[in-house]
Structure 1
Amino acid sequence: MTKKKTIIIILVCLCLGLFYAYNFNVNSRGYINDIINNIEGKTLNSKFETKIKSGNLSTDYNIDQVLKDIDKLQLNTLNVPIVINVSSRTSSNMSIEGWSEKRAIELIKKLRFKKINIILEPYPWIENGSVGETEWKPDNIEEFFYNWENDVLGKLIKDVAVPYHVDALNAGTSFVYMEQYEDNMCHMIDYVRERYKGLVTYRTNFWVTAADFAPEYTEKYKSKLNNQVFSKVDFISIAAYFELTENETNTVENLTKALENTTKFNRKQNIKQEIKNFNEKWNKPIFFGELGFPKTNKATEEPHNPLMSNIMNNKEQANCFEAYKNVFRNESWNLGFSVFAIGETSDDKRYYPSNESAEIIKNWYS
């Protein structure tokens, strides 16, 4: 082969490489996080270029529906789950579900030419999905953390996050019974950072306080607020299923007020201030890693429970989203939100946004 031909081949390969890199999700932090992690004085907002408007995917999501929902809700980010099988609520062992990992990769590839950031989430699937992740209480804490790091996080980083240029990794979700082990939690984040250069978060569960009559709730909140794991992450994620009222239905106005003075059980919880406290304590932006409400009556009594009422009510769900929008949209410390849940529209999907809710979400940060 002549020297001239060799040079031409090299130039063609370089051009193809640059073309591929440019077109592979050009806004993806996966390509530039080496740069952004070295920029002094920049906020996370500048890393994402805008506030995050994301959608959490149902574990049984349909890829075509996901693509439709991105456009329908005008999202700039997706929270992509990969199912982690857990045999029982006390198990300290777990394994990655192969079909779920394969589908996540297929979806990420389809997003190659869209300007969509990806948050990757290992999603605990306990007792075949019959038990929520908040009920997981491993029987051996040390074994749990070792297995979670090596059998879940390490493998997902190697097989998905790094090769497919994922923008952020959610290292854990609502570890209600594990979060108190601060050294282990901090080690978990350190483990991720040693292997992955993107953004790292941990999603904590919502909480309740009732200063007038239940000081023990306030003490639990203070313990959560002071947990050192939040010093380790790039941004703090919260599953925002806060209990607001006991009403069958609500106006946007009374829900907006309830976010600073809840009326359920007359707890008088100031949710907005308690959330802001995390920003003030750790100087990290706050992200609603799950924000969802069933499209039924009583959607605000226990937003985490889709079975509080069988009376369908699209407007009630929409009012909830609008109240959060009113309270948090303009706060500089609020990084954004992720709608729970999209990608599947079956009748049993009570959290899928109604048309009324979709209009509010679409115009959020427009």
Structure 2
Amino acid sequence: MRINPLLLLIVLLQSCTAQVKKINGVSYVAHRDSITQKNIAPLLNINANYAAIMPFAMIKDLAHPVVNYDKERQWFGETLTGGKQYINTLKKNNINAMLKPQIWVWKGEFTGFLEMTTEADWLTFETTYSKFILAFAQVAEDTNTEIFCIGTELEKFVAARPEYWSKLIKDIRAIYKGKLTYAANWNEFEKTPFWDQLDYIGVDAYFPVSDSKTPTIEECLKGWAKHKETLKTFSEKYNKPILFTEFGYRSIDYSGKAPWTVDRVESKVNLDAQVNTTKALFKTFWNEDWFAGGFVWKWFINHDKVGGLENNRFTPQNKPAETVIKEHYKVN
């Protein structure tokens, strides 16, 4: 059979484009209110093409087996109705979505330590977690959401109950026809047992890359070298792209030393540290074929009232790092 050379060229070009185009996303924090065009405009301004919608369920403590979600006391953006409204409003502006339902443990304890003490509690936990996840999987299906994240940083839960997770994935796929991922913490993903059942290898990318007070781009690039090789090898092992389900840095001294730190410390604001670490991450990953893109942590809907030059938290909003993201997303 003779192949039309022009048709072959078009197919090859389309294939290359599909590989090059990245998920240029933000982690869109749920709010008490619905979102409007005013809330979407800042996303369009930074050239974002994806947003992670993050409804939370609540658990009383790390050994409590009941997952509570979609309650009247919760903010609108954390509910089933709110998730639909956020996603549909984004889609009207050609911004795709990853629906990423998560657990919040009271007092802010780390979800990776969630672990039940009896078999009965494990079964209750699994039942209520499944109800939570499958309810939002239906939201994802109803809204034609592009990506659904089945869990976030649940290391002990995953390690203790691998059979449950395999069944949960099958149950999700019976409802939802889009792409699946799981958001593994940066030091967890190599131990996660079910990547072969998902579409993306999701990593919350808080890898340590520099011990300097104000890390330079060059220092961060060197710091990324070992992690990058590990991620590339892991992607090749499963023949699946790496997706940074979260990435970002605080505008604070030593931002690259322990990027996962969320303590409300009053350390000096360091905008250059946030800029340099962000630039190095983009330079390290965004041109790699095996890398799908990622979601900046984190982005609030009331853009004009958050972040700023005196803020040392993660958000890049109204800081020099926002310009870095805007310029990078424009060409990727």
| Superposition pairs of residues 1-366 of structure 1, within 5 angstroms | 46=18, 50-60=21-31, 63-64=35-36, 66-98=39-71, 99=76, 100-101=78-79, 102-127=81-106, 130-139=108-117, 140-149=121-130, 151-158=131-138, 160-180=139-159, 181-207=161-187, 224-225=189-190, 227-260=192-225, 270-307=226-263, 310-344=267-301, 345-346=305-306, 350-354=313-317, 355-365=319-329, 366=331
Distance 1:135 1:292 in 2: 22
Label 1:252 to 1:167 Cα distance change in 2 as closer, same or farther (>3 A): same
Secondary structure, counterpart of 2:210 in structure 1: coil
> Offset of 1:145 from its aligned partner?
2.4
Letter of the 2:223 partner, please give it. A
Distance 2:16 2:129 in 1: 27
Residue in structure 2 matched with residue 3 of structure 1 by the alignment: none
Secondary structure, counterpart of 1:327 in structure 2: helix
Distance 1:132 1:67 in 2: 30
Secondary structure, counterpart of 1:363 in structure 2: helix
Distance 2:16 2:70 in 1: 31
Label 1:187 to 1:332 Cα distance change in 2 as closer, same or farther (>3 A): same
Distance 2:114 2:51 in 1: 25
Distance 1:329 1:202 in 2: 20
Cα-to-partner distance string for 1:232-288 (whole Å, 9 max, x where unaligned) = 00111100011222221111111111112xxxxxxxxx1111111221110000000
Distance 1:249 1:82 in 2: 34
Q: RMSD of the TM alignment (CA)?
A: 2.5
Contact 1:245–1:300 (Cα < 8 Å) also in 2 = yes
Label 1:161 to 1:349 Cα distance change in 2 as closer, same or farther (>3 A): farther
Distance 2:254 2:85 in 1: 37
Q: Percent identity of the aligned residues?
A: 21
> Offset of 1:93 from its aligned partner?
1.4
Contact 1:61–1:342 (Cα < 8 Å) also in 2 = no
Contact 2:29–2:298 (Cα < 8 Å) also in 1 = yes
Distance 1:349 1:89 in 2: 28
Structure 2 unaligned regions, length at least 5: 1-13
Contact 1:119–1:167 (Cα < 8 Å) also in 2 = yes
TM score, norm. by length of structure 2: 0.82
Secondary structure, counterpart of 1:89 in structure 2: coil
Distance 1:136 1:349 in 2: 29
Distance 2:266 2:223 in 1: 20
Cα-to-partner distance string for 1:5-28 (whole Å, 9 max, x where unaligned) = xxxxxxxxxxxxxxxxxxxxxxxx
TM score, norm. by length of structure 1: 0.75
Letter of the 1:114 partner, please give it. N
> Offset of 1:182 from its aligned partner?
2.4
Q: How many residues align?
A: 297
Contact 2:242–2:292 (Cα < 8 Å) also in 1 = yes
Whose radius of gyration is greater, 1 or 2? Answer: 1
> Offset of 1:72 from its aligned partner?
2.7
> Offset of 1:60 from its aligned partner?
3.5
Contact 1:69–1:343 (Cα < 8 Å) also in 2 = no
Contact 1:85–1:97 (Cα < 8 Å) also in 2 = no
Letter of the 2:201 partner, please give it. I
Contact 2:210–2:219 (Cα < 8 Å) also in 1 = no
Label 1:226 to 1:246 Cα distance change in 2 as closer, same or farther (>3 A): closer
> Offset of 1:103 from its aligned partner?
2.6
Label 1:69 to 1:245 Cα distance change in 2 as closer, same or farther (>3 A): same
342-351 vs 52-61, greater mean Cα deviation: 342-351
> Offset of 1:59 from its aligned partner?
3.5
> Offset of 1:121 from its aligned partner?
1.1
Distance 1:323 1:299 in 2: 12
